[in-house]
Structure 1
Amino acid sequence: MEGTYGSEWPSEEKIKRREMVAPEARYILTCQYTDNDIAKCFMKQDSGVECAHVTCRGGRLLGFVHYRFIVEEDVPVLYVYELQLESSAQGKGLRKFLMQLIELIACKSQMWAVMLTVQKSNTDAMFTYSVLQICNIQYLAITSGSTGITLPRKIVSTRTRYSYV
């Protein structure tokens, strides 16, 4: 994540570490497996041994989404804290897929919106969010309390297809 945060990473690292291990943190991990890894997994399932398909044992971690269910101004939302992808996984539609999965999770969990914060310099992510027709982009400059550095960011949100009936 150091590359994402640049010079302010040393001060942000402690905050991120606390956020990532909080009990309310939820994760989606994306892994790359070889055909051999997949075959072993199916053989284990057939033999009655529990398959560890939800972890990255034997596979290579390509990225993750860290999200939480929160209430923002009296509105239940799914807030994406981090969406990180290895460079080898970028530009292949994985970010779009993960955001669609996040929206589905939000709908099934009766959340009214999906929210996230994006650094203005992350043009690839902003392009993906525009393709997904995410609306209500607010420009925001966040000042880090520990360094005093102002970081240009965008708050991005979209209403889910869920509605109270």
Structure 2
Amino acid sequence: MPIDAKKLVKKASQLMKPVEKFQCESPRNTTTEGETITFDYAWATHLNDDDFEWVFALFKKNMMEMYQKSQWGYDENSKRNELRATTSRFIIAVNSKGEKIGYLTYRFVVDHNIPVTYCWELQISPSYQNKGVGGMMLNTLERLSEKAGMSKVMATVFLYNSPSLGFFHKNGFSEDVTCPSEDSGLDYAILSKATP
């Protein structure tokens, strides 16, 4: 019997605090340097203006140049709306001094008739990159995906963003069946990892 993808996604999308409900936070919470990181969880629509501006500033710092050279181009209003979408949720990483250092935004969606958790953005402050913070948030997302009954976790990555491609591959992601072929002329890859 096929999974009713729409029902599963609707049910998951209605959960008020999914990470807390399923108690699926990553067991890892220290950086490679031993600093303890804590996490906050929020709907995009519940972020206050200051938090949202921090989110957007980090996105811009890390990604604006990549978007400018992409086939999509950089459209600030469109990206703001995307990050503030009612279906978007955030995992926000906070360092031991109480400063926000990164975030992951995700949505539960139906992709090619399959219920999936889509990692929309994963941005880490430059001073905290390569210290395990992104891996902790991704691990939480994978655990959440399993508990919510989603088939896989997906992400879209620019082909010229080698640090990001390396990060996802290191965390067990590979090209999804929906990934454009190399001769498609497109400048991004669609990656996924099946939930256990």
Mark yes or no: TM-score above 0.5.
Answer: yes
Aligned partners of 2:169 and 2:86: how far apart in 1?
A: 32
User: SS in structure 2 opposite 1:67?
Assistant: strand
Structure 2 residue corresponding to 1:103, chosen from 142, 156, 164: 142
Identity rate, percent: 28
For the Cα contact (< 8 Å) 2:64–2:74, is it kept in 1? no
The corresponding residue for 2:187 is: 152
Aligned partners of 1:151 and 1:91: how far apart in 2?
A: 28
The corresponding residue for 1:5 is: 64
What per-residue deviation string (whole Å, max 9, x for no partner) do you get for residues 60-108 of structure 1?
Answer: 1101011000001110000111000000110111112211111001001
Paired residue type of 2:191: V
What per-residue deviation string (whole Å, max 9, x for no partner) do you get for residues 38-68 of structure 1?
Answer: xxxxxxxxxxxxxxxxxxxxx2110101100
User: SS in structure 1 opposite 2:105?
Assistant: strand
The corresponding residue for 1:69 is: 108
Aligned partners of 1:140 and 1:31: how far apart in 2?
A: 38
What per-residue deviation string (whole Å, max 9, x for no partner) do you get for residues 5-64 of structure 1?
Answer: 313698422111111222111100001133xxxxxxxxxxxxxxxxxxxxxxxx211010
Aligned partners of 1:26 and 1:16: how far apart in 2?
A: 15
The corresponding residue for 1:120 is: 159
What per-residue deviation string (whole Å, max 9, x for no partner) do you get for residues 127-161 of structure 1?
Answer: 122122212353469xxxxxxxx861111111111
Structure 2 runs not aligned, ≥5 long: 1-58
For the Cα contact (< 8 Å) 2:180–2:186, is it kept in 1? no
Higher mean displacement: 109-118 or 12-21: 12-21
Aligned partners of 1:102 and 1:11: how far apart in 2?
A: 27
For the Cα contact (< 8 Å) 1:140–1:155, is it kept in 2? no
Matched, 1:31 2:70: no
Matched, 1:17 2:80: yes
Paired residue type of 2:80: R
Higher RCO, 1 vs 2 (CA within 8 Å, ≥6 residues apart): 2
Aligned partners of 1:156 and 1:10: how far apart in 2?
A: 21
Q: What's the Cα RMSD here?
A: 2.2
Structure with higher Rg: it is 1
Structure 1 runs not aligned, ≥5 long: 35-58, 142-149
User: SS in structure 1 opposite 2:173?
Assistant: coil
Structure 1 runs of 4+ off > 4 angstroms?
Answer: none
Aligned partners of 2:91 and 2:137: how far apart in 1?
A: 8
